[in-house]
Chain A
Amino acid sequence: MEGTQGIHSPRAGGLEYYRPRSVEEAIRLLTDLGEEAMLVGGATDVWVEMRSGKLTPKALVSLRGVGDLRYLEPEGSALTIGAGTRHADVEDSEWVAGNLPALHQACSGVGSRQIRNVATVGGNLCNAAPCADSAVGLLLYDAVAVTQGPAGSREIPLKDFFVAPGLTVLEHGEILARVEVPDSGPRTYAGYWKHTRRRGIELPMLGVGARITFSEDGETVEKSRIALGVAGPTPRRMEEAEAVMEGFPLTEERVLEAARMAAYQAEVRDSFRGKAWYRREMIRVLIPRVLRHAGALEEVAE
């Protein structure tokens, strides 16, 4: 659009924009306005898609002003993240950096600082892009989405939250209120690597997250988690690959086998952004690296 510095809204009568002050008000608005109203957190993604004409909602209901949704509440080693939390809040949190390193790495790499200052974790999840960095980070820690809607509240494990690119299980009028990250337990090593062509302001070509929680003996894998972004229609866990490691002593061989399995099963595509064979190969290469770098495996000199 030539010099418009905004959206050329193709809808007659323009765009309706609401700034509720509470979650209840937001739910009421969404219900009253109907299905052509969209919820936004920071609007950074939606604004761009409206500009290009991909999205044409009748109304936007913005949660930016709902201060109640913006918080990070640690409790012991567990964390509750308000859906309105900005990625920058996560990036600046020493607690998250120390306790949930993979989530910290994932959120800290989203876009640029300017984007992170505005874009919310909730918005990133509900946008349900295949590449959502925060989603991959949260999947590793068995996060649970907690919603509020006209019908009440629901708890949805994040691995069941995404349906398709741009689509979650949320009903219209239902708002993602917070994400609960349970205690991952001591002896947990996790990391997230965003594979990109350049170092700054990138959507990932591939997002690779991995986590190991050892049992008391310090050798057997009690919980293993592998999560990938841009390796399927939605961010996803690779459960068969995880099963290769879970319940067994962690060895280099098992890690490599799990990585091969994840690579084999990943639904990577050829696109002008990257070739499928390359993404597949990177899954195989990067999972062991993420685990080594996180401290789960002996650090091989790289």
Chain B
Amino acid sequence: MSKSTMDTSQKLTPLVEVGRSRPKTDAGEKTSGRTQYIHDFSMPRMLYGKIKYSDRANARIVSIDTSEASAVPGVKAVITGGDVPEIRFGFLKDNLALKKDRVRQYRDEVAAVAATSPEAAAAAAAKIKVEYEDLPPLFDPEEAMAEDAPLVHETDPRGKEAKDNRLRLPWKFEAGDMKEGEKGSAYVAEGEYEAGWVTHCCMGTSGCVATFDPSDNLTIYSNTQIPSLAKSDFQEALKAMGVDGAVRVVNMAIGGGFGSKLDTYAYEYIAILLAHRTRRPVKLIFDREEEFEATSPRQPVKIKVRQGCDQEGNLTFRDISMLLDNGAYTSWGATTPTVMMMPVSSLYRVPNIRFQATCVYTNNTYAQAMRGYGTPQVTFAIESNLDELAEQVGLDPYEMRMKNANVPNETTPQGFQVTTCGHKRCLEEVAERLDWSSRRGRPQKRGAKVRGVGMASLLHVGGGAKIYKSDGCGTLIKMDDQGWVDVYSGSMEIGQGLETILKQIVAETLGCRVEAVNVILGDTDVCPWDVGVHASRSTFVAGNSALRAAELVRDQILDTAASTLSVPRDDLSLREDTVVCKNDSDKNTPIDKVARRAHFASAGNTMFMAANFYEPDTELLGEDFKGNFSRTYAWGCHGVEVEVDTETGKVDIIRYIAAHDVGRAINPMLLKGQIYGAALMGVGYALTEEMIYQEGRLLNPNFRDYKILTAMDTLPVEPVIIEDPDTDGPYGAKGIGEPGLVPTAPAIANAVYDALGIRLNRVPMKPEQVLEAIFRNQGREIEER
């Protein structure tokens, strides 16, 4: 295990930069309109791309007539699947950049245009005529599993005939002995939960600019969250195109990520094809409607859950099975079960686990990664069901949780090695702040409104997640002879503040001003490899990598200083841009002077620079899905007081406590920003957001009808930051990007139960759903008239 030289006594000692609520270093640019997003970027001779989408859910493409489109003035290229090399992409390679012969969903890309203006491109795309032969579509995953269901894909990606619409994915997990677990149970709670499609709604829509140089080298200006992996994907695409060139991925500022850019999309390959065909830069930007329709949302899921416990309430088993609507192609949505296994196997201490997930092809949209990566969906089931189990035992839900809470230094049934664990503290904080003991079980009625309280906790990875062959991140650091520091990291700023965090970590380590540290991100020509901004891993992994590289540079500085000042190395430290000598302050020297001495020495000239590739000491999950795939884990607990209007079904949030086990807050203000933002996204997920599909077609591809929450819906969130420095995190920090929305839905559902005695098992918990449940409780019929 690679050790950090940070000694444990430093853990919570006051630091200079770490722990400081410093404003984001890019805030000046962002507040003055200077930041360049992909939408703002252009190149000389640039063309505009526009995609023509399918208008059938499932059909054979009989013919495509592009003649009228090509005749539109300003059009430089019109391409279809038939006249470009086949580019396959996606986790199972079952997706094509331009669809050939068949369309399988409304968002299928059938053709594309490049033209000298967006208007010309749009006019031309509208003139492309496609003839279809309709095929029977499947919109229900259960129907898609029936024996006589038509096949969405007749063959698998390798050409082998498909037997049915089930994906051949091995999502099964078992630990312990289910039979023993069931035998030892005095109580069992069973339930079914459902979550549909919601989407990221990044304020900046998707887009890219692709351009080839005369030697066939591709540069793609991008929004991606995975610059290094995208580069590999695009490299493969070039191979498929028969193009022998290098690939450079350059990131513009990203207008929001949340997982939406964790996979490559057809539009990127289409931009590349158009750029190659026309030999000009091609800009392809989604408008908001396209963003809703043609990007991939959160994975919908139908979950069956059973949990059991003994007489005293100790959990004995957890049995979960789920059905995933995979849509017509496969992206990260299909892999969410591998992360869902995490709370399934390890949230609370449960000895016997069984988990199984089935993914089925349909003609619906296909899903991708979205903040939480499956854990919000499955935690909704687990935590709602836990309250039900607690009720059977006669235990208060908080007591039930405390009794079964995770503790430090244990190994979970999935093989996770828990080091630091703030689970109990998070639970305690919530209970205390919500005044749980006097509120729970005593709903407060005022007229038609009832108030209740509920809680739910979460488990997430806190130290990266080895879901790919490497979970590492590389960093290069150099210091020039004026003392300016440049840090090149493979990670990306997606708004979460990574750039600022890295500056703080490096400044802390080198004892220099934050202003002297420059962070360069998002250029694969310049920055080392990183697997991507996901799994809340950037602070931990990129942070550790930057920390170690900075330590190497620090060592170089101290070594040089010790030599030129003739003092023992141990007497020296770095602080306030100065090499400080413990016993002789006369020898204090500005760091930049030391740098010049090294650089311009009479012999042995050197420059202060270093490289580090940090690979967390973790394991890829085995075939049994067991293994310690993160260096540390993070817990949290959300507690909510809701007010339900029993006549309108509306649920209001009166109080919201979000307690998070973060190890160490490198920048408390930015960390709180993650909690506020995630909590509101979670409440939207729980109460108001849904993509409304009708026979595969999206009815609400806009902000009027897709209800993301507004400033007037701002939550009274009280963030509680629990710090227990992690042994492995940079300065003790763990990840926080995703946890904030994992437990919101069950916390709210549990609070609604406290208020009304009604269990809601479907998100979003819209007023209609609540009111219908209230009526059912009262024996009232819904008047359909």
Produce 1/0 per residue, B97-128, CB < 8 A to A: 00000000000000000000011011100000
Produce 1/0 per residue, A261-283, CB < 8 A to B: 00000000000111111101110
Produce 1/0 per residue, B282-294, CB < 8 A to A: 0011110010000
Q: Verify B709–A2 contact, CB threshold 8 A.
A: no
Cβ-based interface call for B15 (8 A): no
CB distance from B699 to the nearest CB of A (A): 5
Known: A272-B700, A273-B705. A3 touches B647 (CB 8 A): no
Instruction: Report B-chain residues with C-beta under 8 Å of the C-beta of A199.
Output: 710, 712-713
Cβ-based interface call for A28 (8 A): no
Q: Verify A2–B285 contact, CB threshold 8 A.
A: yes
Q: Verify A200–B710 contact, CB threshold 8 A.
A: yes
Q: Verify A3–B446 contact, CB threshold 8 A.
A: no
Closest to B711 in A: A200
CB distance from A269 to the nearest CB of B (A): 12
Produce 1/0 per residue, A188-218, CB < 8 A to B: 0000000101111101000000000000000
Cβ-based interface call for B694 (8 A): yes
Cβ-based interface call for A163 (8 A): no
Q: Verify A277–B122 contact, CB threshold 8 A.
A: no
Instruction: Report B-chain residues with C-beta under 8 Å of the C-beta of A302.
Output: 446-449
Cβ-based interface call for A285 (8 A): yes
Q: Which of B692, B705, B712 contacts A200 (CB 8 A)?
A: B712
Contacting B at CB under 8 A, from A246-302, are 272-278, 280-282, 285-286, 300-302
Instruction: Report B-chain residues with C-beta under 8 Å of the C-beta of A282.
Output: 648
The docked-state distance in angstroms from the alpha carbon of A301 to that of B123 is: 59
Q: Verify B447–A4 contact, CB threshold 8 A.
A: no
Cβ-based interface call for A1 (8 A): yes
Cβ-based interface call for B298 (8 A): no
Q: Verify B712–A8 contact, CB threshold 8 A.
A: no
Closest to A292 in B: B447
Q: Verify B121–A2 contact, CB threshold 8 A.
A: yes
Known: A277-B784, A280-B783, A285-B647. A3 touches B48 (CB 8 A): yes
The docked-state distance in angstroms from the alpha carbon of A198 to that of B647 is: 17
Instruction: Report A-chain residues with C-beta under 8 Å of the C-beta of B700.
Output: 272
Q: Verify B122–A4 contact, CB threshold 8 A.
A: yes
Q: Verify A285–B768 contact, CB threshold 8 A.
A: no
- A interface, size bucket: 20 to 34
CB distance from B395 to the nearest CB of A (A): 34
Closest to A279 in B: B768
Q: Which of A2, A3, A281, A302 has the most CB of B within 10 A?
A: A2
CB distance from A268 to the nearest CB of B (A): 10
The docked-state distance in angstroms from the alpha carbon of A136 to that of B186 is: 59
Q: Verify A272–B709 contact, CB threshold 8 A.
A: no
Instruction: Report A-chain residues with C-beta under 8 Å of the C-beta of B447.
Output: 300-302
Instruction: Report B-chain residues with C-beta under 8 Å of the C-beta of A285.
Output: 647-648
Q: Verify B707–A1 contact, CB threshold 8 A.
A: no
Instruction: Report A-chain residues with C-beta under 8 Å of the C-beta of B710.
Output: 198-201
Q: Which of A8, A278, A280, A286 contacts B767 (CB 8 A)?
A: A278
Produce 1/0 per residue, B382-396, CB < 8 A to A: 000000000000000
Contacting A at CB under 8 A, from B704-745, are 704-705, 707, 709-713
Q: How many residues does chain B have at the interface if contact means C-beta atoms less than 8 Å apart?
A: 43
Instruction: Report B-chain residues with C-beta under 8 Å of the C-beta of A278.
Output: 649, 767-768, 771
Produce 1/0 per residue, B633-652, CB < 8 A to A: 00000000000000111000
Cβ-based interface call for B766 (8 A): yes
Cβ-based interface call for B50 (8 A): yes
Known: A201-B710, A203-B704. A3 touches B118 (CB 8 A): yes
Q: Which of B119, B290, B784 has the most CB of A within 10 A?
A: B119
Closest to A281 in B: B771
Instruction: Report A-chain residues with C-beta under 8 Å of the C-beta of B703.
Output: 201
Q: Which of B119, B648, B692, B785 contacts A272 (CB 8 A)?
A: B692
Produce 1/0 per residue, A92-128, CB < 8 A to B: 0000000000000000000000000000000000000
Q: Verify A197–B648 contact, CB threshold 8 A.
A: no
Closest to A289 in B: B647
CB distance from B186 to the nearest CB of A (A): 41
Cβ-based interface call for B534 (8 A): no
Q: Which of B118, B286, B768 contacts A4 (CB 8 A)?
A: B118
The docked-state distance in angstroms from the alpha carbon of A173 to that of B48 is: 41
CB distance from B704 to the nearest CB of A (A): 6
Instruction: Report B-chain residues with C-beta under 8 Å of the C-beta of A8.
Output: 119, 122-123
Instruction: Report A-chain residues with C-beta under 8 Å of the C-beta of B699.
Output: 272
CB distance from A186 to the nearest CB of B (A): 29
CB distance from A255 to the nearest CB of B (A): 14
The docked-state distance in angstroms from the alpha carbon of A64 to that of B634 is: 57
Q: Verify A2–B713 contact, CB threshold 8 A.
A: no
Cβ-based interface call for B688 (8 A): yes
CB distance from A45 to the nearest CB of B (A): 12
Q: Verify B767–A197 contact, CB threshold 8 A.
A: yes
Q: Verify A2–B118 contact, CB threshold 8 A.
A: yes
CB distance from B452 to the nearest CB of A (A): 17
Cβ-based interface call for B664 (8 A): no
Contacting A at CB under 8 A, from B68-120, are 118-119
The docked-state distance in angstroms from the alpha carbon of A4 to that of B119 is: 7
The docked-state distance in angstroms from the alpha carbon of A286 to that of B448 is: 12
CB distance from A273 to the nearest CB of B (A): 7
Known: A199-B710, A282-B648. A272 touches B287 (CB 8 A): no
Contacting B at CB under 8 A, from A1-24, are 1-4, 8
Contacting A at CB under 8 A, from B570-606, are none
The docked-state distance in angstroms from the alpha carbon of A136 to that of B745 is: 36
The docked-state distance in angstroms from the alpha carbon of A302 to that of B644 is: 12
Known: A8-B123, A277-B783. A301 touches B771 (CB 8 A): no
CB distance from B682 to the nearest CB of A (A): 15
Q: Verify B707–A198 contact, CB threshold 8 A.
A: yes
Q: Which of A199, A272, A281, A282 has the most CB of B within 10 A?
A: A281
Contacting A at CB under 8 A, from B442-469, are 446-449
Known: A197-B766, A200-B712. A2 touches B290 (CB 8 A): yes
Q: Verify A3–B285 contact, CB threshold 8 A.
A: yes
Instruction: Report B-chain residues with C-beta under 8 Å of the C-beta of A4.
Output: 118-119, 122, 287
Q: Verify B768–A274 contact, CB threshold 8 A.
A: yes
Instruction: Report B-chain residues with C-beta under 8 Å of the C-beta of A200.
Output: 709-713
Q: Which of B48, B448, B449, B785 contacts A2 (CB 8 A)?
A: B48
CB distance from A254 to the nearest CB of B (A): 19
Instruction: Report B-chain residues with C-beta under 8 Å of the C-beta of A272.
Output: 692, 694, 699-700, 705
The docked-state distance in angstroms from the alpha carbon of A77 to that of B48 is: 58
Q: Verify B39–A3 contact, CB threshold 8 A.
A: yes
Instruction: Report B-chain residues with C-beta under 8 Å of the C-beta of A195.
Output: 648
Instruction: Report A-chain residues with C-beta under 8 Å of the C-beta of B692.
Output: 272
Q: Verify A197–B287 contact, CB threshold 8 A.
A: no
CB distance from A161 to the nearest CB of B (A): 25
CB distance from A86 to the nearest CB of B (A): 20
CB distance from B290 to the nearest CB of A (A): 7
Instruction: Report A-chain residues with C-beta under 8 Å of the C-beta of B118.
Output: 1-4
CB distance from B235 to the nearest CB of A (A): 27
Closest to B684 in A: A198
Contacting A at CB under 8 A, from B631-677, are 647-649
Cβ-based interface call for B169 (8 A): no
A-B contact list, 14 entries, CB within 8 Å = A2-B50, A3-B118, A4-B118, A8-B119, A198-B710, A199-B710, A201-B703, A203-B704, A272-B705, A276-B784, A277-B783, A278-B771, A302-B446, A302-B449
Other A-B pairs beyond A197-B688, A278-B767, A278-B771, 11, CB < 8 Å: A1-B118, A197-B707, A197-B767, A198-B710, A199-B712, A200-B712, A203-B704, A275-B768, A282-B648, A302-B446, A302-B447
Which 8 residue pairs across A and B have the least CB separation, nearest first? A200-B710, A199-B712, A200-B712, A302-B447, A285-B647, A3-B118, A272-B699, A278-B768
| Residues of chain A whose beta carbon lies under 8 Å from any beta carbon of chain B | 1-4, 8, 195, 197-201, 203, 272-278, 280-282, 285-286, 300-302
| Residues of chain B whose beta carbon lies under 8 Å from any beta carbon of chain A | 39, 48-50, 118-119, 121-123, 284-287, 290, 446-449, 647-649, 688, 692, 694, 699-700, 703-705, 707, 709-713, 766-768, 771, 782-785
